[in-house]
Amino acid sequence: MTELKGRQWISDQNNHNINGETTKVPAMINGICQRCNTKAVSKLPDGRRYCRECIGLGRITEGDELERNVENVNYPKVLMPLSWSGTLTEQQELISKELVNSFKDRRNHLIHAVTGAGKTEMLFKVVEEVLKGGFRIAIATPRIDVVDELFPRFQAAFEKVEIGKYHGREHHEISDEQFVICTTHQLLKFYHAFDLIVIDEVDSFPFYENKMLHFAAENAVKEAGCTFFLTATPDSKLLRQAKNKTINYSLLKRRFHQGLLPVPKEKYFFKSFISNKGKVHPVLIKQIKQILDMKKPLLIFVPRIKELPAYEEYISSIFKASKIISVYAGDKDRQAKVASFRKREIDILLTTTILERGVTFKHVQVIVLAADDPIYNTPSLVQIAGRVGRSADDRDGLVLFCYHKYTKSIREAMRQIRMMNR
């Protein structure tokens, strides 16, 4: 079997594993890139247009061709691929069966589940069904951190199955694994490759309202395949499709431990959270001290990367005995810092929205600074609140929304959280 099964590439790229059936199509038609479906406006000195949106995968220029592997090859059927021996709640079991049936019928499916519902475990049976049938599956998510979180969990549940892990910080070429976990950007490399694609955190940036990534997901699934959408905050389009029964729908309002979502506390601030002299508001310092005294880890969300150093410097000067660091998307030590925080080697982690979802930290408490900043939409605030109370032995905790102006996003996030708690 070729390692390019279900792949697409620019035909002039060096590929030495082409053994199967391929087809060529113009890489650009009427100025539209056929890899990412984006209109090309940039031009080379010779006047030819090229696509900037997906240039990270190799430049597509007018006159190029996309070569696609179109082999109709199934994988060997895997006997007893699932090594997980845990149990599901009654609600989880019901949804798990619904997902298996949706795959058998090749029906798209929306899973609307509260954060901490145990949606990963609910996927195990349908993944097993795919593998046992000799079919191919991809679990794709917009965030690198979520890929890093999901991969070891599925690896532990499917010990004998080779799982491909791909994102922008994994510096190796894609192979032909039957089971792939990747970021949604990686789907641009595939063409009619998967019988089932699961989009986890479908409401998350950069997938949310990104036409290119939606096109990538649609292009990567086989014509006879199907797509599952997982989210705690589905958009109106998905809900409308569910209401019209054009896609199947499952709702789970309870976390796996049957606990409720922590309802955020709201705190209005008249003065700035941090002064021009770099002093953090005393009310915040008092709250941080209370959390540290409880020996609990603290996530502080800050809307702008440029603000992180000032907060880190001042809080570190006040709490000298505590380890306090910051992390952001472009941080070269990002993965190591997150791992250290998970191991309780760090007391306070200042972060941007990169850690709003898909990561689990036991006993964590959360403070959101400037919850009224436009960077925080309703889904992100709900997801941030969902970082708290995820452990069965610690179902509650502090979520504090700090703001100067009470926004629609804050109000709607509070409404959704209370709705899921009914």
Maximal C-alpha separation, the chain: 67
**Location of each CATH 3.40.50.300 domain in the chain:** 90-252, 265-420
Return the pLDDT at 135. Answer: 95
132: enclosing H helix or E strand: helix 124-132
Strand partners, 138: 180, 197
Question: DSSP letters of 86-128?
Answer: ----HHHHHHHHHHHHHHHHT--EEEEE-TTS-HHHHTHHHHH
Helix (H, G, I), strand (E, B) or coil at 33: strand
Angle, vertex CA 398, rays to CA 393 and CA 402, nearest 5? 160
Q: Which residues of the chain have pLDDT under 50?
A: 1, 16
Helix (H, G, I), strand (E, B) or coil at 54: coil
**Yes or no: is domain 265-420 CATH 3.30.70.120?**
no
Nearest Cα to 185, choosing from 57, 356, 72? 57
- Return the beta strands (E) in 207-351 as ranges: 221-231, 248-252, 265-268, 298-301, 324-327, 348-351
For the CA atoms of the chain, what is the radius of gyration?
23
Task: Report CA-CA distances (Å) from 81 to 74, 77, 125, 139.
Answer: 16, 9, 10, 17
Q: Using CA atoms, how far apart are residues 376 and 87, in angstroms rounded to an integer? A: 35
Return the pLDDT at 265. Answer: 96
Task: Report CA-CA distances (Å) from 82 to 121, 135, 228, 298.
Answer: 11, 15, 20, 35
Specify whether the CB–CB gap between 325 and 337 falls below 8 A: yes
Helix (H, G, I), strand (E, B) or coil at 222: strand
% of the chain exceeding 90 in pLDDT: 68
Q: Using CA atoms, how far apart are residues 213 and 206, in angstroms rounded to an integer? A: 8
Secondary-structure percent of the chain, ordered helix, strand, coil, rounded to 5: 30, 25, 45
Q: Using CA atoms, how far apart are residues 279 and 95, in angstroms rounded to an integer? A: 49
Helix (H, G, I), strand (E, B) or coil at 323: coil
Return the pLDDT at 253. Answer: 85
Return the pLDDT at 12. Answer: 67
CATH pick for 90-252 out of 3.30.930.10, 3.40.50.300, 3.40.640.10, 3.20.20.140: 3.40.50.300
Work out the burial of residue 73: count CB atoms within 10 Å of its CB; fewer than 13 is exposed, 13-18 middle, 19 or more buried.
middle
Work out the burial of residue 195: count CB atoms within 10 Å of its CB; fewer than 13 is exposed, 13-18 middle, 19 or more buried.
buried
Q: Letter for the amino acid at 6?
A: G
